[in-house]
A and B are shown apart, each in its own frame.
Chain A
Amino acid sequence: MKLYLNFLSMHLRCALEYKASFLLTILGQFLISFASFLGVYYMFARFNNVEGFSYSEVLLCFSVVLMSYSVAECFAYGFKTFTATISNGEFDRIMIRPCSELFLVFASKVEFSCLGRLLQAIVILIYAISNSPIIWTKDKILIFIFMIAGGIALFMGLYIIYASFCFFTIEGLEFMNIFTDGGREFGKYPMAIYGKSVLGFFTFIIPLACIQYYPLLYLLDRPVTPLAPYTPIYTFLFLIPCYVFWKIGVTNYKSTGS
C-alpha cells in the first residue's frame, strides 16, 4: 500500500509538470463526455421517458456508470495500454522485480486526464440527485456507494481481461471495447431497455446491470426481488475469474524480445 502511494505521488508530479497541457486534456475529456451527455439530453427532450425511466432517473444511472468507468480507466490505465508494454519487452523487466506482476502493471501508469470524465459525472450526479424524488435513507446511500465501487471493480476486471488477452495475441483485441467503451456508452441507460436476452447477458456474464439496473430499481422504490440491492457485491466476485485468467496469461507468457 505504501509502495502504491509512492507510485501515485510520482505519477501525479509527472502529470503536473506540464500544467497547461494537463488542464487542456482534462477539459478535452470533459467535452468528449459532454457530447455524449448532449445525446441523452436531446433524446429526452423528444421522448420524456424510456421504458418507464424518466430523464433524472436515467441521468442517475448515467452518472454511476460514467463515474466508475472514469475512475477505473484512470487507475487501470496500465492494463489499457498493456499491448505496448508487451510488444516493447517492458514486461520482462516487470517480471524480474520482487513484487506481484499484477500490482506492478497496475501501478505502472495512472492517467489523471481521465478525471475530466469524472468531473462530468459528478456534475451530472448533482443535477440528477437534486431533480429526483428519491428520499435518501442510510441504506440507500450505502447501496449507492456500492454501485459505484462495484462499477469500478467491474471495469477494472474488464481491463485486466483485456490485458490478459494480450499474452496470447500480442495485439489488443478490439472486441473487448464492446464491454469497456460499450459498457460506458450503453450503460447510460438501464440495461433492461435492450430487452431480456441482453439484460441476461449483462447480468450473469458481464455483470454491468448489477451496478445500475437492479440497485437503481431499489433506489427508486420499484417492486424488486429482495436480492436486487445486493447485486453490486456480485461484481466483486467477477474479479476472481479475471485474476485467474491473468495468472494463466502470465504463465503462458513468451517474451517478444527486443
Chain B
Amino acid sequence: MKKYHSFFRLYIVNSLQYRAAAFAGIVTQFSWGFLQILMYTAFYKSNPSAFPMGLSQLSSYFWLQQAFMALFMTWFLDKDILDSISSGGVAYELCRPLDLYNMWYVKSMANRFSKAILRCLPILFAAFLLPEPYALTFPPDALLALSFGISFIAGFLIVVAFSMLIYVITFFTLSPIGIRIVALSLMEFLSGGIIPLPFLPDKIRLIVELLPFASMQNMPYRIYSGNITGMQAVYGIQLQLFWLLTLVMLGKFLMNKALKQTVIQGG
C-alpha cells in the first residue's frame, strides 16, 4: 500500500510544477463550459418543451464535466505506459515486486487525479458564483449528495479500468493508433461527452444507458443535478459496480494472458 501511495505523491508533486499551464487550462475550460451552456440555452429558447432536463440541471452537469474533465476523459491515455509497452520498457516494470495491473492502475489514477486537483476548485468556485440558470447549484438533498459521491468514485474507477483495458490490448497489437482513435471517439459519444445522454432519442438512449460508458461521467453528474433520483439512482449505482467489477476482472485476466505470451525484443 505504501508503495502505491508514493507513486501517487510523485505524480502530484510533479504536476504542481506547471502552474501557468494550469491557469491557462482553467480559463480555457471555464470559457468552454460557458459557451456550451449558452449553446444549449439557445436550443432551450427555441423549444423549451422538447428539453429533456431542466436548464439549471444542465448547467450543473456541464460545470461538473469541465471541472473534473481530467478524471473522466476517455481519450486520455498515459503516454509513459504506452511507450513502455511498445519500447520494451515494460521488462523493467516486471522486475519490480509489484503486481503490474495494480501498479499501472494506481499510476493512471494518480496521473488523472493530479491533473484534476489543480483545476477543479477554481472552476467549481467560479461556477457557484454565476447567476441562476447558468450556475452550479448544490444537489437537492443530502441523500442525493451521498449517492453522487459513491457514483462519482465508481465512475472514476470505471474510466481507469477501461483505459487499463486499452493498455492491455496494446500488448496484442503493438501499433494501436488506428483502433484506438476509432474506439475513443465512439466512447466519447457513448459516455455523454459530446451531448448529454438525455438528449438522445429514447430508443437509442435506453440501450446506451446500459453500456459501461454511461456508467462513467453520465451517472454521477445526472445524480448530482437531480436528473436521476430515488430508486433509479440506486439501480444506476448497482450497474456501475457491476461494470467496475467486470472491467477489472477482464483487464486482469487479459493482462495475465498477455504477459505469458510477451516477448521482450532485446533492447
Contact = CB atoms under 8 A, between A and B. Distances in A.
Interface of A: 21, 24-25, 27-29, 31-32, 34-36, 38-39, 42-43, 45-52, 169, 171, 173-175, 177-178, 182, 186, 189, 193-195, 198
A184 B201 CA distance: 25
Given A24-B177, A28-B177, A178-B32, 17 more contacts: A21-B175, A21-B177, A24-B178, A35-B188, A35-B189, A39-B195, A42-B200, A43-B195, A46-B47, A49-B47, A50-B46, A51-B46, A171-B20, A174-B24, A175-B27, A175-B28, A182-B28
Given A25-B177, A42-B201, A177-B28, A31 B39 contact: no
Contact of B24 (A31, A50, A51, A173): A173
Interface string B22-34: 0011011001100
Given A42-B201, A173-B24, A36 B194 contact: yes
A48 B43 CA distance: 9
Nearest to B188: A35
Contacts of A43: 43, 195, 199
Contacts of B177: 21, 24-25, 28
B207 interface: no
A194 B42 contact: yes
B35 A198 contact: yes
B178 A21 contact: yes
Interface of B: 18, 20-21, 24-25, 27-28, 31-32, 35-36, 38-39, 42-43, 45-47, 50, 52, 175, 177-178, 181-182, 185-186, 188-189, 194-195, 199-201
Given A174-B21, A194-B35, A46 B50 contact: yes
A31 B42 CA distance: 27
A174 B23 CA distance: 9
Nearest 10 pairs of A and B residues by beta carbon: A28-B181, A24-B178, A193-B42, A32-B185, A39-B194, A35-B189, A175-B24, A194-B38, A39-B195, A175-B28
Contacts of A47: 43, 46-47, 50
Contacts of B182: 27-28, 31
Contacts of B201: 42, 45-46
Secondary structure class of chain A's binding surface, majority of residues? helix
A182 B47 contact: no
Contact of A198 (B21, B38, B178, B195): B38
B21 A173 contact: yes
24 contacts: A21-B175, A21-B177, A24-B177, A25-B181, A28-B177, A28-B182, A34-B185, A35-B185, A39-B195, A49-B46, A171-B20, A173-B24, A174-B24, A174-B25, A177-B28, A178-B27, A178-B28, A178-B31, A189-B39, A189-B42, A193-B39, A193-B42, A194-B35, A194-B39
Given A39-B195, A173-B24, A28 B43 contact: no
Contacts of A182: 28, 31-32, 35
Contacts of A36: 194
Contact of B199 (A28, A46, A178): A46
Contacts of A177: 28
A66 to B, nearest CB: 15
Contacts of A42: 195, 199-201
A35 to B, nearest CB: 4
Contacts of B194: 35-36, 38-39
Nearest to A169: B20
B189 A171 contact: no
B186 A31 contact: yes
Residue in B45, B186, B189 whose Cβ sees the most chain A Cβ within 10 Å: B189
Contacts of A31: 181-182, 185-186
Nearest to B189: A35
B179 to A, nearest CB: 8
A198 B35 CA distance: 9
A75 B43 CA distance: 35
B29 to A, nearest CB: 9
Contacts of A29: 181
A28 B47 CA distance: 35
Contacts of B32: 178, 182
B38 A174 contact: no
Nearest to B40: A43
A48 B20 CA distance: 43
B149 to A, nearest CB: 29
Contacts of B28: 174-175, 177-178, 182
Given A31-B181, A35-B188, A51 B42 contact: yes
Contacts of B188: 35
Contacts of A45: 201
A51 B38 CA distance: 12
Given A35-B188, A42-B200, A174-B28, A28 B178 contact: yes
